[in-house]
Amino acid sequence: NGQTCLVLCVQTQLPPPAPSDDLSSLSELTEAGLLYEVQKRFGNDQIYTYVGDILLAVNPFKELQIYSAQVSRLYAEGEGRRSHPSLPPHVFACAERAIQAAHHDQSPLTFILSGESGSGKTTACRHILQHLLTRAEGSSATHLESTFKHVNCILKVFGEVPNSTNSTSSCFSAFLELLLRRSDSKVIGGRLTTYLLERSRVLASEGQPTFPIFSLLSATEGLEKLDMRNQGNSENCWSSQASHAGLADVVISLRALGLSAEDESSLLSLLRGIWLLTKIRFQNVEPPETSRVSSPQLLEQAALLVPSAHLESALTTDVTCSTGDKAYRRVQAQTATTWRDQLACSLYARTFGLLIQLANLALRSLSSPDSYTIIGVLDVPGLSEVQDNGYEQLCTRLLTERLGEFGLRQLFHGTDKDVEARDGVGLTMATLPGDSSVPNAILQVI
């Protein structure tokens, strides 16, 4: 068209292999020595290190030019071998080894990603997915790659929040399954299961931001009539210009996953209603132990298709049923506030679940289950400091403890069983480090 286009090519430079690529091969295995090697590698932008069959990843907190399609092809050609003479440790190598093992053994495999909040688990999950999708073919590859991008967009705005160490910290556990055709290990579909959504994040508070979708809605121009602009923490709201672009991307992704224009409008209205519901305030009135809504305008806007009087009654009245009779009792403002929060969080959790169902419909494969094997990726939120620990944090910590115990069992006892099967030698099982008595006791109670 007569215009000049300047193209900048960034050369991918992988670090050369080094003796410290696998820490288990070091002559001296001490805590100080291991930390020294990891720190030295981190200073050289070598963020990946093997520890036997485990890949240790350190978040560089910057962009590294080591995730291009060219790098992915290099590890695919090397078949993920750790002993490849010219390729250093990489998440692509682990993904490629999983592909080779799944094709050879014809049995499911799972990646378990664990670490503190902000350590890069979700990013590692996306890099694994990136490499696995190179094994899709033709139009199917383009469709799957596009669909997963739209799913990631939805998960980011509906299930992640920023914190002090991470701009996108997951607030739910996710198990992603990639379906690989048995005959040639080509990816033909996917399936996503989510657990333990931190629904309390709906309630924005000082030091705890809410989900980005609410920030997008609250800062978008034209929503002042819903009184959303000044109802939340302004520091959590994006700029109006960024919100327009971000909300447009969300709508595009929703449409790509199969949501109709009418359903998309209903979804956004529901989200606005949930957000406004969290802003309704109550005040105690006479007689004692009763309350009423002190912000009737917000109540009217949040009610949507429900009569506002019915919503107020549901939030301020306790109903007890006994032998066919109903007893009504008005509650105080503190109880009404708790019920308001529970309703908002429950509505959001159900909405999130519907979006996951929508994603699975877009990712589904029509092939018979006998025709494919599975590579799974389990991504669990890392431990982070919060002002108030609640039931959600307890469940996340218990899950982290159990996964850690499972990893140790596979690392030690799994190896022992392999030796017994190969050499026919009976071995005494090693005692696993750590104490699982406390998590086990809590699990028996709950």
Within 3-62, strands assigned E span: 48-51, 54-57
Q: Give the whole-angstrom CA distance, residue 178 versus residue 260.
A: 26
CB 229 within 8 A of CB 223: yes
CA distance 407 to 411: 6
Torsion sign across C-alpha atoms 65, 69, 70, 75: positive
Q: Give CA–CA dist 387/369, Å, rounded.
A: 45
CA distance 112 to 93: 15
C-alpha separations of 399 from 382, 391, 394, 409 in Å: 10, 12, 9, 15
Task: Using the structure block, give the residue that is written with the tokens 């900048």.
Answer: 8
The closest of 345, 386, 382, 391 to 208, measured between CA atoms, is 386
Cβ(352)–Cβ(197) below 8 Å: yes
Angle, CA of 121, 118 and 389, to the nearest 5°: 110
- 52 appears as a binding residue in the annotation: no
Q: What is the DSSP string of 269-293?
A: HHHHHHHHHTT--EEEETTTTEEEE
d(CA 120, CA 124): 6
C-alpha 410, offset from chain centre? 24
Here the tokens at position 423 are 């050499």
Q: Is 218 annotated as a binding residue?
A: no
Q: Give the H or E element holding residue 130.
A: helix 121-132
Query: Any known ligand binding at 121?
Result: yes
Distance, CA of 230 to CA of 224 (rounded, Å): 9
- Residue 265 annotated as binding site: no
The reply, when asked if residue 122 is annotated as ligand binding, is yes
Task: Count CA atoms within 13 Å of residue 103 on its CB side.
Answer: 15
119 is in an annotated binding site: yes
Q: Name the phi and psi angles at 283, rounded to 5.
A: -140, 145
**Does the annotation flag 120 for ligand binding?**
yes
207 known member of a binding site: no
For residue 60, give the DSSP letter.
-
Structure token pair of residue 172: 């739910």
Task: Find, among 181, 179, 185, the residue nearest to 376 by Cα.
Answer: 179
| Contact criterion met (CB below 8 Å) for 315 and 293 | yes
Task: Give the residue ranges of the annotated binding site.
Answer: 115-122
Task: Give the residue ranges of the annotated binding site for ATP.
Answer: 115-122
